[in-house]
Chains A and B, each alone.
Chain A
Amino acid sequence: DADVTQTPRNRITKTGKRIMLECSQTKGHDRMYWYRQDPGLGLRLIYYSFDVKDINKGEISDGYSVSRQAQAKFSLSLESAIPNQTALYFCATSATGTREETQYFGPGTRLLVL
């Protein structure tokens, strides 16, 4: 079984709709991250969380919100989707302690906003 899972894997939605992307992990890591990837722009950090009560904005948080429901679950919401949020979204995890910057990625969610 995959250590980091993301649902859905693909999603098509319309402008103005609210959608949620979910991430779950069985690695026992306390840190979780949401990134988006666009062609030519690399990976950009949206939000990150170092434990259940800790939520931090990344470099491109506008238009997004997150919820850390449990240590193993971290959800990303688009409150009102817009076409320029079309991208590949990745969840990642890491563990506090030695080598805590080492991040492991989920399989990704491909989102298309029409």
Chain B
Amino acid sequence: QKEVEQNSGPLSVPEGAIASLNCTYSDRVSQSFFWYRQYSGKSPELIMSIYSNGDKEDGRFTAQLNKASQYVSLLIRDSQPSDSATYLCAVGERGSGNTGKLIFGQGTTLQVKP
């Protein structure tokens, strides 16, 4: 069974620090990777997508992908209390091609303390 694993946390960091969120996946042929942010009681919001090995930066967010290690991470620089949320890692499912479905991890809860 294809799986996406995340540490549920909570991960606690002080304001202004770098938060590092990690995700591993089981299907080595996966090609697309996503990070969603979800505030309590709200819907998931897409914050980053990454498809190639290496880093992808968008503002304070950097996604890192290592397909050989089946590992994807999200770094949040200069963490703010407003970044406190659950971060969901999602991986595009592959069959003979893209199945069009995402496999979600259970999410990591981030707490940024002022």
Contacts and interface: CB of A to CB of B under 8 A. Distances in A.
Interface residues of B, number: 22
Contacts of A50: 100
- Categorize the interface residue count of chain A: 20 to 34
A64 interface: no
Given A42-B88, A42-B107, A101 B102 contact: yes
A80 interface: no
B97 to A, nearest CB: 10
B34 A90 contact: no
A92 to B, nearest CB: 8
Interface of A: 31, 33, 40-43, 45, 48, 50, 58, 88, 90, 94, 96, 99-108, 110
8 contacts: A40-B8, A42-B88, A43-B104, A58-B101, A101-B100, A101-B102, A102-B46, A103-B102
